[in-house]
Amino acid sequence: MDYQPRPEDQRFILDAVLGASCRLNGLAPFGEFDAPLQSQLLEEAGRFIGEVIAPLNRVGDEAGCRFDQGSVTTPPGFREAYRAFWQAGWPALSAAPEDGGQGLPALLSAIVSEWLSAANQGFNMAPGLLHGAYECLKHHGNDELKQHYLPKLASGEWLATMCLTEAHAGSDLGQVRTRATPQADGSHRVSGSKIFISGGEHDLSDNIVHLVLCRLPDAPAGPKGLSLVLAPKLLPDGTRNAIHCERIEEKMGLHGSPTCQMRLDEATCWLIGEPSRGLQAMFVMMNSARLLVALQGIGLLDAAWQKADAYARERRQMRAPQVPASRGPNDAADLIVEHPAMRRILDTQRAWIDGARVLTYRTALLLDVAKHDADKGVRERAQRWCALITPVLKAACTQQGFQGASECLQVFGGHGYVRESGVEQIVRDARVSMIYEGTNEIQAIDLLVRKVLPDGGTGMGKLLVELRDELEASRDTDADAQRRLAQLRYLTTTVAMASHADPALPYEVADDYLRVVMLTLMAWAWARIDVAASDEADLARWSVPAAAFRRHVLPEFDMRLGMVKRACEAVSLQPAA
């Protein structure tokens, strides 16, 4: 059973919960965008992904990528599927019209990307970095580079990589040693070795555009001495550049995506942006890339859920504790879905997917707002949300993607552990998203240490007040969600005060604080869904995961809140230094 997008779920969240098309319609570039267009695009994307991309998921895992003397062959069917994908215009969805793009909201790209992850994450790794590379080049490249590379990246005809990590420097980019030497013609010769480069070499596109983090002569040590250069696989004159794949990794999963070790031997490169301002150029793409990783977690969890749900409604195992309506007179056993422990797994994972979709789609929408709204104050508020909430979603959604997929595996019993069910592949594929684009522990530090605490929690406080006001405006009566928003505000102040006394404290509680934020946001999201679910059909779809959320997910809120509080209290009990 291949993954099948169900656009009706997205439609409800976008229209009834978030009022997305109205909001987008008010932004200058999307004046002609409306709900019917949105609906049509999602239907088409869903059909394409279900018919063309999803059926290649299994072969991607089993055949995997093959490395031979510097070349990488992707799994059978991937090359043709990728050609069909970019020629149908899917990578260009939210690229600017002047670059050949369709100029549609980033929100739509985000949903398409979630579905691609669900259908075939090994495949989706290839175009996964396209939009980030496009944005980076668009904002920081010079005209010549833009003219040559921007349209190809916008369309997806050429694929892109991010060459950051080196063997001695994993998460620690300040340690990067790759060297760039300026040339008389304005280009640079770059030498060094990079590891963990997704799509560093492959046969999907004719050219590959590498964005490489390196260091110019006399650049300061550490992250402030990093420059970003563009290194094409094929130079503009058609010759091969000196950037080569030396091997590909054997991985736990994502076998459809080659993870390459790359060597640059005096490769010809061009600076993107100012010298030693490479990290700034990259940060443009950081929030949107992290959001896409959060959507991977949701997508893979939905893929596992679809499989488990179908299996549980078809396979019979043992007697349920109460006679279910589905038991026929000749059935010696009941459907798996009738067993409370299995029901709980399915409903709980559904609650995670649905609630997290509200939050990630809202974030994608606010990326559009932050870019295009006429009002500076509105743009800044949207930007604040994206900055604060993106690391929360990246960490929480990828953790749930892995753990929740493993829960779904459990529904299959022993069959889940063998390849045929397809669900163990999802668990393996999902694991890496907790690591890349900044490990989940780094997301927690980014949230608390770099974003919440520097202004003493003021920004987070304002965001929470906005959420409170939105709930009140929607005439929501969920006092519970309101109470949690208030508790998180108070907790934020508590942590800020205790961190003055003990600067190590935020590093100790960052992971728990992030969980409190996520659970607060989820409570808010489910309060919004409750208000939006107006008729019986809506209630039939949304009330079961709503109940599962409150019963099985939300209790973690008090636990984490208590853990952070006790750590703060321990600080205030210490004698002054």
The residues that touch its own copies, with contacts defined as CB under 8 A, are 165, 169-172, 174-175, 195-196, 221, 249-253, 259, 317-318, 321-322, 332-333, 339-342, 344, 402-403, 406, 409-410, 413-420, 424, 427-428, 431-432, 434-436, 439-441, 444-445, 503-504, 507-508, 510-511, 551-552, 555-556, 558-559, 562-563, 566-567
Which lies closer to its own copies via its Cβ, residue 16 or residue 435?
Answer: 435
Phi, psi of 135 (to 5 degrees): -65, -40
Which lies closer to its own copies via its Cβ, residue 114 or residue 407?
Answer: 407
CA 63, chain centre distance (Å): 26
Strands (E), 39-118: 66-68, 71-73
Residue 337 DSSP class: G
Nearest of 542, 546, 562 to residue 554 by alpha carbon: 546
Task: Tell me the closest approach of the beta carbon of residue 547 to its own copies, in angstroms.
Answer: 11
Which lies closer to its own copies via its Cβ, residue 143 or residue 250?
Answer: 250
Q: Cα 59–65–68 angle (5° rounding)?
A: 145
Task: Tell me the closest approach of the beta carbon of residue 431 to its own copies, in angstroms.
Answer: 6
First to last CA, the chain: 62
Rounded (10°) angle between helices 143-155 and 130-140: 160
Report which residue type is found at 364.
A
Nearest of 345, 342, 309, 339 to residue 326 by alpha carbon: 339
Task: Tell me the closest approach of the beta carbon of residue 526 to its own copies, in angstroms.
Answer: 17
Task: Tell me the closest approach of the beta carbon of residue 125 to its own copies, in angstroms.
Answer: 13
Which lies closer to its own copies via its Cβ, residue 101 or residue 416?
Answer: 416
Which lies closer to its own copies via its Cβ, residue 52 or residue 434?
Answer: 434
**Catalytic center residues:** 437
Strands (E), 69-206: 71-73, 159-163, 179-182, 188-198
Task: Tell me the closest approach of the beta carbon of residue 384 to its own copies, in angstroms.
Answer: 25
Task: Tell me the closest approach of the beta carbon of residue 248 to its own copies, in angstroms.
Answer: 10
CA distance 220 to 343: 57
Which lies closer to its own copies via its Cβ, residue 159 or residue 248?
Answer: 248
CA distance 521 to 36: 29
Residue 468 DSSP class: H
User: How many Å is the maximal CA-CA distance in the chain?
Assistant: 85
Q: Under a CB-based contact definition with an 8 Å cutoff, are residues 278 and 227 in contact?
A: yes
